[in-house]
Amino acid sequence: MRTRRRPSTPILLAGWLFADLLLGLTIIMLGAQAPPPAPVKPLAGESTGAPTPTPSPCATRIGGVRAKPVKISFRVSPSADANALAVQVKRKLLRYKKHLAGRHAGMVLTFGADGGAGEGVRLATRVNTALGTAYPKIFGTAATRNFHDLSAPSGSISMEIYFVSDGCAPTPKN
């Protein structure tokens, strides 16, 4: 007569352990869910039969940076001190007043040329600092990036100004 070999105890308990772990994970997932929203109670004096007001189309503002930049190019004296450079930048940007009036720059990419790459980046940095001094309402909070332009003559500045857009959110359709 052959005797059957009985499975060992750990193998018998493996199924129950798996079932217990699955039950524990289910309880954790149910506890992690947010409760359903509470119903809105009408204020004192409001009737519940009145239609609910809909938000105006401009109730929420959508803001971002426009995808198309305004491109500006001009020349400055690379050897000018900070105050003289600010005056030069202010005078040069007066030509672009119609593009700048009433707008706020979100991001400005400035390409400077002044000999080596490091000098061009330093000139672009100084011009961006002068922008904030000359026109703080337009460029005061703008993010700036400074680059060197290898193909331009010394003192050349090229800027790509990305302005902040401001519009109305579309009205949700019911």
Spell 40-76 as b/e; 16+ CB within 10 A means b.
Answer: eeeeeeeeeeeeeeeeeeeeeeeeeeeeebbebebeb
70 CB-near residues (< 8 Å, 6+ apart)? 96, 99, 100, 160, 161, 163
The pLDDT of residue 171 is 47
pLDDT, tens digit, for every residue of 93-117? 888 888 888 888 888 999 999 887 7
pLDDT, tens digit, for every residue of 124-141? 999 999 988 888 888 888
Q: Against a cut of 0.95, is the pTM above it?
A: no
Helix (H) or strand (E) holding 72: strand 70-75
Alpha carbons 113 and 119: distance in angstroms, whole number: 7
